[in-house]
Amino acid sequence: SSGINAEWPLRPGREPRGGSSAREPPSGNRRSADVQGLNALAATFNDPIFTRQWHLYNREVYGKDLNVLPVWANNITGQGVIVAILDDGVEHTHPDIKDNYAGSVSWDFLDDDDDPTPIPSQADKDVDHGTRCAGQVAASKNDVCGVGVAYNAKIAGIRMLKNKVEDSMEAQALRFKKEKGSDCDSALIPLL
C-alpha cells in the first residue's frame, strides 16, 4: 500500500472553480503584482495534485491558505531541517517521501529496529497516519503526487504508536531523537 493516496491533502468537494489556476486578489488590492508572482511560482510545481492542495495555495478563495508560497519564494523550503514523526510509522519507500527520508535518525520502538515502516495487523489495517503526516510536512517536489509544506526537509520516522502508548515509550522516543539528533548537522524537530 502506498500510505499516501492521491486524495490525502484535499478537502473533498473543493476543486478550484472552472479548473482555473489563476489566483485573483480582492478588487483594488495593491498586491496584485505579488499575486502574479505567486501564480508564476505555483506554475513551477509539476506534482499532479499540487493544484488541488488548497491548504498550500488556495486558488478558489484568496488568502484562505497557509500563505506558504511567499516563504518558498524566499528559498525557505525546509532545507537543513529534520522533522521526526512520532506515530504509527513512516512508509519511507513511498515515492513522495523516499528522497527526504532520514534513516540514520529513524527507529521502530515496537520492533526495536531501524525500520519504522507501519505494519498493518488483523485488528488495525489503517496504519498510514504517520506516513500521511510525513507527506504533509515534507513530500518532495518531484512530479509524483503533491508537495509538503517544507518539501526540502528531511523526515525521520519514529514508530511507537500501536494501541495504548505509555508515557515511558514517549519519553524513550524523545530521548532517542535527542541522542541521534546530536549527530546531525541540522535541527531535529519532533512532531507527536
Order across the sheet with 81-87: list the strands.
107-108, 154-159, 81-87, 187-191
For residue 97, which amino acid is it? I
Predicted pLDDT at 17: 42
pLDDT in the model for residue 150 = 96
Average pLDDT over residues 124-132: 80
Q: What is the pLDDT of residue 183?
A: 47
Q: What is the pLDDT of residue 115?
A: 95
Phi, psi for residue 187 in degrees, rounded to 5: -70, 145
The predicted model gives 89-114 an average pLDDT of: 93
Computed over every residue of the chain, the mean pLDDT equals: 77
| pTM for the predicted model, two decimal places | 0.74
Flag the least confident range among 33-42, 128-137, 153-162: 33-42
| Dist. CA 89–CA 116, nearest whole Å | 5
- The CA-based diameter of the chain, rounded to the nearest angstrom, is 59
Residue type (1 letter), 157? G
Query: From CA 106, how far away is CA 108, in angstroms rounded?
Result: 7
Query: Per residue in 52-85, pLDDT tens?
Result: 898 998 877 777 889 899 899 999 999 999 998 9
